[in-house]
Homo-oligomer: A and B are copies of this chain.
Amino acid sequence: MIQGHQTWVFESKPVIIASAAVGGPFEGNGALANDFDKLHQDTWLGQGSYEKAEKKLLEEACEIAIRKGGSKKEDVQFFLSGDLMNQIISSSFAARTLGAPFLGLFGACSSSMESLSLAALIADNKFGDNLIAAASSHNSAAEKQFRYPTEYGGQKPPTAQWTVTGAGAALVRQQGEGPKVTAATIGRVVDMGISDPFNMGGAMAPAAVDTIEAHFRDLNRETDYYDIIATGDLGSVGHQIAADLLKKHNIKMDKQRFTDCGILIYKKEQPALAGGSGCGCSATVTYGHFLNRMRKGELKKILIVATGVLMSPISYQQKESMPCIAHAVSIEM
């Protein structure tokens, strides 16, 4: 059912039966390496292009989640996925491999929680069972496309982020054992006029805050309801802006409780500047790190606020600012 303006409450509490995270070499050297199901030493994954490497990451994450859930490819009823590439080719080609009916999504880096929200909506209403919700990104595929040719080797400012090479997938069922998807807040597009693609965290922060405010308002809930409230990939710059904005809006947010997937994923000494970004960031940290901690009993209730820059050629060619969006999903043991 809908509660408030934009929050879905899943009364039957669909279950994440299994999940998987697959990453690249930079992630393998990161702070959460142990939470990945599979790590590659080769950013190409033996493929002929970075795009094909990303597709393979996504296919592997789906395969592992399906296997861990004791299911088979043929038994996946719907596949919901998005990524950063033009025409979401990683998801589209993975959907060809998977063979399940496919709902392609684009919410930039928020796609991970967009796909989980819709999968939970379908499962909660008995419109499908055994669904895969997924998202992926690849550093070289994305940064080549949206910023600089990698070979150019240009210096980046400290506000820039590092696109995660990784894919995460969740196998969602109507019933079973595991972390449960209890609510989702669908975000609005928020644009504060930032046009610098090297400050995506700053651009996304107001969207994250808008969705966080909506979530707690719609559910009439206090922030201490959750053990962890994690933004998707604001990085250190954007996350601080979000914390400041929440304070300004009188939303009490405990420092211990409020974190960011983009800050968690890499070690301080890695050259990731302000932190990780990309669909693969919130997808791998949620489906790997956070769900592992839930399964171990370390966390009971988490809110993942995946935030995306709906960036564009227009941004570059015509000095348009960047519209941003965030979707928040509540997961409880």
* Contact for A317 among B5, B49, B122, B188, CB less than 8 A: B49
A311 CA to B323 CA, complexed, in Å: 25
- For this chain, the copies found in one complex come to 2
Q: List chain B residues, Cβ under 8 A from A188.
A: 95, 99-102
- In the complex, are the beta carbons of A314 and B189 less than 8 A apart? no
A250 CA to B198 CA, complexed, in Å: 56
What mask results when residues 35 to 58 of chain A are scored 1 for a CB within 8 Å of chain B, else 0? 000000000000011011000000
Q: List chain B residues, Cβ under 8 A from A124.
A: 125
Considering the complex, give the chain B residue whose CB is closest to the CB of A317: B49
* Contact for A310 among B89, B108, B121, B317, CB less than 8 A: B89
- In the complex, are the beta carbons of A88 and B102 less than 8 A apart? no
Q: Does A172 contact B (CB under 8 A)?
A: no
Residues of A within 8 A of B (CB): 1-2, 5-6, 8, 48-49, 51-52, 77-78, 82, 84-89, 92-93, 95-96, 99-108, 114, 118, 121-122, 124-128, 186-189, 191, 310-314, 317-318, 320, 323, 325
- In the complex, are the beta carbons of B93 and A314 less than 8 A apart? yes
A122 CA to B189 CA, complexed, in Å: 19
Q: List chain B residues, Cβ under 8 A from A317.
A: 49
- If A104-B107, A314-B52 touch, does A127 touch B121 (CB 8 Å cutoff)? yes
Considering the complex, give the chain B residue whose CB is closest to the CB of A110: B104
- If A49-B317, A96-B323, A317-B49 touch, does A106 touch B108 (CB 8 Å cutoff)? no
- In the complex, are the beta carbons of B87 and A310 less than 8 A apart? yes
- In the complex, are the beta carbons of A2 and B126 less than 8 A apart? yes
A48 CA to B319 CA, complexed, in Å: 12
Measured CB to CB, the closest approach of chain B to A160, in angstroms, equals 19
- In the complex, are the beta carbons of A127 and B1 less than 8 A apart? yes
- In the complex, are the beta carbons of A93 and B312 less than 8 A apart? yes
- In the complex, are the beta carbons of A48 and B106 less than 8 A apart? no
